Chain A
């Protein structure tokens, strides 16, 4: 696998900020795992459930009238005097869907969750393109999905980077409506990876709609360190980054403990939903090193092979 180093100049300044050369080299060594082998329009590098024409032997079956004589195994006929047709694994292409939550709540944290999500999405998209999969990438925000047309081939990776580098954070989320919008327009089947903090009342509707597309759903649940382990002053007004509304709290140990408990319950709830739908749930702090995410966490979770 060769990384698109020669095309680095095409990436533009935004892409330079997102990825460096060494990182791109390592990306080429990964492969997206498709939990459900699905049929596609073009031959790709993934194993399909269909038996077809390829070089990888799969099985034998008895010859029946009408079969392609080129598939007969003449060596077996010579030994057994029976006609068998060789079956090969047919390699199919899949569409990798990478959805990035572009809500204002994502534009928060140190490191910034949206920046982290963009880089993660760019890396995942590159992996898909490098393995000749079709990649569809979209931002979810303000009740709609803004997507890039499906791309194929490593040379298109810089289009992805440019798309991801555009300023995005939307004022309002409308995560459920945006997810429904994308799900209604989905074409190719394949892995669908949602990168979001899910801090939206309609997060379960969004997950339900995306899981209903029969794509393999993976949720990268991005939360900032200060959301995982908050430091609240004794007398504080918590100001919502999306709405600007504030709530007054007394930042004592009790409040923080209850927050942590609620956060854990919420994460378990999402994880359970994903598990029921055959998806994967990965909680990711935004200060996690991207290489660790791709080469360690996602591999262990079998989102990437």
Chain B
């Protein structure tokens, strides 16, 4: 028994018996006369404090209830063999795909069942750490031998909507396993994660795989572009079908919750279908793509997109001319690009000012102005210092250091194959930060705010690198312009993937902002540090609004931007359960703990508790028999009682 102290409760048995032997304090019930009762009553006894113990079903039932409850409280168990070590790290996958519903049951519910089973199989004296893993790890209970607490933690697990990443959970499990050589890591998952941890675990890993179905389709992409000078809105939608069978799904397009388009898309197995829709009204603010009907995973059946503003920004490219740069900038829908040579820079600014159409951004290609402009500027291959800092010696063939993929400037930008022939060493001014550095720490790409204006830098000329030939080039330029140019749509990107944090620059005068989930109204307050704030990745699909928190200056509630959060994760939408061996192989391969004759405790207190409850019900029924008679009499009310009816009909005398 796990809790033998509970057997102290057996003392209650003689107490119950003694209670029955004590003369009861009876309730006075007035009757018209005891004339008839006196002929019946057997239990009239002397007024002694104790009476003879008589057989009573009530007593028997109460003794049984007490006995069952005491034994159950002592938590009896059977010893069974176990394949778990003494220290178990239980990782439950709570990524978006675990919200898949199969045969009316969610995958996360199946995971809970499996997790409970693991806890029930803990070896004698074993302890468990319960961890959930979505895009990061969350410890629910740590290194406990309290199975009830572990079970309660498992009961509270719910699936999230964010893409899964087991890296954090495995790192945590690895650390826990390192503390105790007798450890087992159990992962309850559908094993469909794209990203697996790069490091292994020094302990055996068991995988409890859940899930069977693959019947899911997803809105894989949704984007809105303005064309024809902003006069036309083009909506691009892609619907993927990761399942093994061809399907036809109805795609519905809503503009501000009003249905504006619906069409059936035939999607071959493991492919995607795309649609270009031009029926989005000009005045719409939010567009939603929705797959009608049900499939296995609901979270990827909806996607949102914000309609971009129609206003364009005049951009001035100053330099000797660069086709790659001009094409990349001209592709950006927000920019209305003008180009001028280095000598015409000042005149161009004056002419624009006179015309009342000032430039919103200036890009200096291998040119440095005498005075920095009063608008955001991007410097490419500067030969001299300016607002970004000072320029030093020439760097020959600088090798790139590893880049941070989480940096918003490098979103969708892969610089792993970038080669730079020559660059300039730059000492960055205050307010600037490097985005891409050489292995020696020289900034190659940098961004920041100097004197309140955005400043960007590529410390190498495009012609001195193969960047213009990279797919990443237009994306990098787009990200740089977005970072430098305050968007009329706000400072947030128009779309973001679930779970992906957003780092944005903010007016330093603002101290606190709040990320508000529009659908639920839930808001998360964030501190602005040095004019920058990192908004945690949204956890649910829908719109997120970044607002100024009221600090008494009257700017509270002002929106700084809005973004649409979507899943857009092929790995999560592909709900087909993966190969558990991929995860199992990350663990130590060796003899299982069961080979060493480990034992586990299988508790069987719950049948006792259940039997106790049933007996409690029986006891209640026995005790309330008079009440049942009263109810029966009430039901008969309106008719003469049975005794009276029988008497008046059969007992009356007849005249002679």
Chain A residues, CB < 8 A from B33: 105, 108, 197, 199-200, 240-242
Binary interface encoding of chain A residues 235-279 relative to chain B, with 1 for a CB under 8 A from any of its CBs, else 0: 111111111011111111101101110111011101110111111
- CB of B29 closer than 8 Å to a CB of A: yes
Closest B residue by C-beta to A303: B652
Chain A residues, CB < 8 A from B647: 221, 264, 267, 271, 281-283
Chain B residues numbered 102-149 whose CB sits less than 8 Å from any CB in chain A: none
Chain B residues, CB < 8 A from A281: 647, 651-653
- CB of A232 closer than 8 Å to a CB of B: yes
- CB of A285 closer than 8 Å to a CB of B: yes
Binary interface encoding of chain B residues 625-656 relative to chain A, with 1 for a CB under 8 A from any of its CBs, else 0: 11001100100000011111011101111111
Given A231-B633, A283-B643: A255 touches B31 (CB 8 Å cut-off): no
Question: Once the chains bind, are A237 and B27 in contact (CB under 8 Å)?
Answer: yes
Contact of A246 among B28, B36, B40 (CB under 8 A): B28
Instruction: Quote the shortest CB–CB distance from A295 to chain B (angstroms).
Output: 14
Question: Once the chains bind, are B652 and A259 in contact (CB under 8 Å)?
Answer: no
Q: Which one of A69-77, A85-93, A148-156, A222-230 is at the interface?
A: A222-230
Chain A residues, CB < 8 A from B656: 278
Chain A binding surface SS class: mixed
Contact of A283 among B44, B630, B644 (CB under 8 A): B644
Given A242-B33, A256-B629: A278 touches B641 (CB 8 Å cut-off): no
Chain B residues, CB < 8 A from A247: 34, 37-38, 41, 44
- CB of B371 closer than 8 Å to a CB of A: no
Chain B residues, CB < 8 A from A235: 24-27
- CB of B156 closer than 8 Å to a CB of A: no
Give complex CA distance A201, B36 in Å.
Answer: 10
Question: Once the chains bind, are B644 and A236 in contact (CB under 8 Å)?
Answer: no
- CB of A100 closer than 8 Å to a CB of B: no
Given A278-B655, A285-B644: A237 touches B37 (CB 8 Å cut-off): no
Chain A residues, CB < 8 A from B646: 264
Give complex CA distance A185, B571 in Å.
Answer: 111
Closest A residue by C-beta to B629: A231
Question: Once the chains bind, are A274 and B653 in contact (CB under 8 Å)?
Answer: yes
Question: Once the chains bind, are A249 and B653 in contact (CB under 8 Å)?
Answer: no
Interface size on A, residues (CB 8 A): 72
Give complex CA distance A230, B632 in Å.
Answer: 12
Instruction: Quote the shortest CB–CB distance from A249 to chain B (angstroms).
Output: 5
Chain B residues, CB < 8 A from A127: none
Question: Once the chains bind, are A302 and B640 in contact (CB under 8 Å)?
Answer: no
Question: Once the chains bind, are B653 and A108 in contact (CB under 8 Å)?
Answer: no
Given A237-B28, A256-B629, A285-B640: A267 touches B651 (CB 8 Å cut-off): yes
Give complex CA distance A281, B651 in Å.
Answer: 7
Contact of B652 among A109, A216, A228, A301 (CB under 8 A): A301
Question: Once the chains bind, are A251 and B626 in contact (CB under 8 Å)?
Answer: yes
- CB of B417 closer than 8 Å to a CB of A: no
Chain A residues, CB < 8 A from B36: 199, 259, 262-263, 266
Closest A residue by C-beta to B43: A250
Question: Once the chains bind, are B26 and A236 in contact (CB under 8 Å)?
Answer: yes
Question: Once the chains bind, are B29 and A232 in contact (CB under 8 Å)?
Answer: yes
Chain B residues numbered 10-40 whose CB sits less than 8 Å from any CB in chain A: 24-40
Closest A residue by C-beta to B630: A231
Chain A residues numbered 184-241 whose CB sits less than 8 Å from any CB in chain B: 197, 199-201, 216, 221, 223-241
Give complex CA distance A256, B642 in Å.
Answer: 14
- CB of A284 closer than 8 Å to a CB of B: yes
Given A221-B647, A248-B43: A238 touches B34 (CB 8 Å cut-off): yes
Chain A residues, CB < 8 A from B640: 285, 288
Chain B residues, CB < 8 A from A238: 29-31, 34, 37
Chain B residues, CB < 8 A from A239: 28-31, 34
Contact of B654 among A245, A275, A285 (CB under 8 A): A275
Closest A residue by C-beta to B30: A239
- CB of B623 closer than 8 Å to a CB of A: yes
Chain B residues, CB < 8 A from A255: 40-41
Give complex CA distance A105, B646 in Å.
Answer: 23
Give complex CA distance A246, B27 in Å.
Answer: 11
Chain A residues, CB < 8 A from B27: 233, 235-237
Give complex CA distance A223, B33 in Å.
Answer: 11
Give complex CA distance A216, B31 in Å.
Answer: 32
Closest A residue by C-beta to B626: A231
Contact of A228 among B35, B629, B641, B654 (CB under 8 A): B641
Give complex CA distance A266, B644 in Å.
Answer: 13
Chain B residues numbered 30-65 whose CB sits less than 8 Å from any CB in chain A: 30-41, 43-45, 58
Chain B residues, CB < 8 A from A271: 647, 650-653
- CB of A35 closer than 8 Å to a CB of B: yes
Chain A residues, CB < 8 A from B623: 234
- CB of A113 closer than 8 Å to a CB of B: yes
Chain A residues, CB < 8 A from B654: 275, 280
Q: Which 8 A-B pairs have the closest CB atoms?
A: A283-B647, A275-B653, A271-B651, A108-B32, A199-B33, A274-B653, A105-B33, A285-B644
Q: A228-B641, A271-B647, A278-B653 are in contact. List 10 more A-B contacts (CB 8 A).
A: A234-B623, A239-B30, A243-B34, A246-B28, A248-B43, A264-B647, A267-B643, A276-B653, A281-B647, A285-B640
